[in-house]
Amino acid sequence: MSHPHYSKPRRLLHWIFAAVVLWATISGYASALLQPPPSVKQVLAFINVSLTTLLVPLFALRLLYLVLHPAPAAPAHQSPRERLLVHAGHAALLITLGTALLSGVLMMSRPIDVFGLLIPQPLQNLTAILFFEELHHYSCVALALLVAGHIAAVIIHQLRGHGVLGRMLPKQP
């Protein structure tokens, strides 16, 4: 069965985000919960802050392509109600992702080190920094739950024989 595809830039951006978000979530919680040696924690924080900060301009690009390249038509097996649910799920993923990125940047209490390039700490007010730290905590939990639901939904569709994964993969020749 052939699937109408998301455009190439949307597919590329989707998989870059998927890789970084999965890595930052798994390593971020491993670092917070398993308490590795301080040197390991420091390296993980450096890599994660660098990688996720690079997602900020890519997120703006992703929003631009959302408008420029609309999603392909809904698969034939989906009812209008199901499609509405899919859209709501994707919107929730994007809103939570944007919140995790913004809160991450604004909670920084040191300059943001992006692979050696230093961006000045955005906020100085301690109350505001603590607010965004808490927002980062909750938005990361929400994002992890939404991503788990998103992956489960894709697997369920595949198992039912209505694969949607092909819509996010390179076009077959």
Distance CA 11, CA 73 (A): 15
Smallest distance from ligand HEM to CB 75, Å = 7
Smallest distance from ligand HEM to CB 173, Å = 20
Longest CA pairwise span in the chain (Å): 56
Q: Which residue from 17, 16, 1, 3 is spatially nearest to 94, judged by alpha carbons?
A: 17
How many residues in total does the chain contain? 173
Amino acid at 13: L
Q: Which residues bind ligand HEM (CB under 6 A)?
A: 10, 14, 17-18, 21-22, 24-25, 28-29, 31-32, 41, 45, 49, 52-53, 66, 71, 86, 90, 93-94, 97, 100-101, 104-105, 108, 112, 136-137, 140, 143, 147, 150-151, 154, 164-165, 167-168
Q: Which residue from 86, 49, 73, 65 is spatially nearest to 11, judged by alpha carbons?
A: 65
Q: Which two tokens stand for residue 98?
A: 């944007």
Smallest distance from ligand HEM to CB 54, Å = 9
Which is closer to ligand HEM, CB of 94 or CB of 123? 94
Smallest distance from ligand HEM to CB 124, Å = 16
Q: Which two tokens stand for residue 127?
A: 């109350």
Smallest distance from ligand HEM to CB 62, Å = 7
Check the CA dihedral 104-24-144-21 and report its sign.
positive
Residue number of the CB atom closest to ligand HEM: 104
Which is closer to ligand HEM, CB of 66 or CB of 123? 66
Q: Which residue from 7, 11, 17 is spatially nearest to 54, judged by alpha carbons?
A: 17
Which is closer to ligand HEM, CB of 149 or CB of 173? 149
